[in-house]
Amino acid sequence: MYCAIVAEVDKRLEDPLVGFFIQNLSHNLLLEQNGEKIRVTGYLSPRLPVQEKKHRLAQYLSQLKTANPRFLPGRAFVRYEKEFNWVAQFKKNFRPRQVAPGWWVAAPWNKGKHKNEIVIEPKMAFGTGEHATTQLCCQAALGLVRPGMKVLDFGTGSGILAILTTKLGASNVLGIDNDSLAIDNARENLDLNKVSSKVKLSMDSIEALPDERYDLIFANLMLSQIKEFFPRFKKALKKDGLLVASGILTYQLPELGRFLKEKKAGLIAFGRDCDWAALVIAP
């Protein structure tokens, strides 16, 4: 049994609503237009605090309505679906997708069609490379990862970045997530890609980061988390190490820019895809 958490809003609010889902609820989304409204459905495990998440979603819809009083009102609800129905539908619609130039994410049942593949067993809420934030991180990895590097993938989810950086030559990769289901899925995907010996997985929070130094840290998080965890990321980087921060909506860039200036951090590179951005930062 799986849980579907659903929101309907004015279709002009699609981008901020999808952003809220990605950052707070689920990466596995179904978008359907219904007249002047857009329906966003996110799938997640019923083992998670579903009602708490629905409450947060309802609060967010209320904020959207307050900020956009002329738009149609939104609503949120939860429904439950049998696992096999969702899996069958997902398999029917899933196709390999390019996450960076020359690199593709494929499911086990349609792998082998491209030279450079990351094989992912799709599971609820952990991402299959479809979202711009993941793709921006993958594109950054292509330009930054060098053989022998130590890499931290903070918020690893399905392990896409951990797998990609290993295949690009990183010799020591740590993937951290605070969700046991995500860790289980990532471990399965490491095996599918035959990189388990080079990647360590840990179910921990930011406070439990090991006292090691990394060449690269990937943090595909919310802006508030990036700001909160910034001192810890800085401590965990080598002298010339870099932080790749994604999960940032473009309207949040001025706020992040002020924060980086305050911290005297350098901006090395910037990428954008629709309403999303990723930054390479020298803390």
Residue 98 inside a domain? The answer is no
Q: Same structural domain for residues 40 and 138?
A: no
Q: How many residues does the chain have?
A: 283
The pLDDT of residue 30 is 78
The pLDDT of residue 89 is 62
Q: Same structural domain for residues 61 and 188?
A: no
- How far is it, in rounded angstroms, from Cα 265 to Cα 272? 20
The pLDDT of residue 281 is 97
At 59, list the tokens. 């609060």
The pLDDT of residue 210 is 76
The pLDDT of residue 124 is 56
- Name the maximum alpha-carbon separation found in the chain: 55
Q: Contact at 8 Å (CB) between 200 and 173?
A: yes
Q: Residue 242 corresponds to which amino acid?
A: L
**What is the H or E stretch that residue 119 is in?**
strand 117-119
Residue 23 inside a domain? The answer is yes
The pLDDT of residue 133 is 86
Burial tier of 134 (Cβ tally within 10 Å: 0-12, 13-18, 19+): buried
Domain range for 265: 126-282
The pLDDT of residue 130 is 75
Residue 75 inside a domain? The answer is yes
Q: Same structural domain for residues 71 and 174?
A: no
Domain CATH for 36 = 3.30.70.120
Residue 96 inside a domain? The answer is no
pLDDT along the chain (283 residues), means of 10: 86 81 76 84 80 91 86 89 61 80 93 93 70 91 96 93 97 90 90 95 82 93 90 94 92 93 95 88 95
Q: Residue 3 corresponds to which amino acid?
A: C
Q: Contact at 8 Å (CB) between 176 and 199?
A: no
- Number of independent structural domains in the chain: 2
- How far is it, in rounded angstroms, from Cα 268 to Cα 48? 37
Boundary of a domain, candidates 89, 108, 135: 89
Q: Which long-range contacts (CB under 8 A, 24 or more apart) does 85-93 make?
A: 86/2, 86/43, 86/124, 90/28, 90/122
Q: What is the pTM of this model?
A: 0.78
Of the candidates 60, 62, 146, 132, the one whose C-alpha atom is nearest the C-alpha of residue 100 is 132
Residue 197 inside a domain? The answer is yes
The pLDDT of residue 222 is 81
Q: Same structural domain for residues 133 and 197?
A: yes
Boundary of a domain, candidates 38, 66, 89: 89
Q: Same structural domain for residues 130 and 265?
A: yes
Per DSSP, the three-state class of 36 is coil
Domain CATH for 206 = 3.40.50.150
- The DSSP secondary-structure symbol of 71 reads S
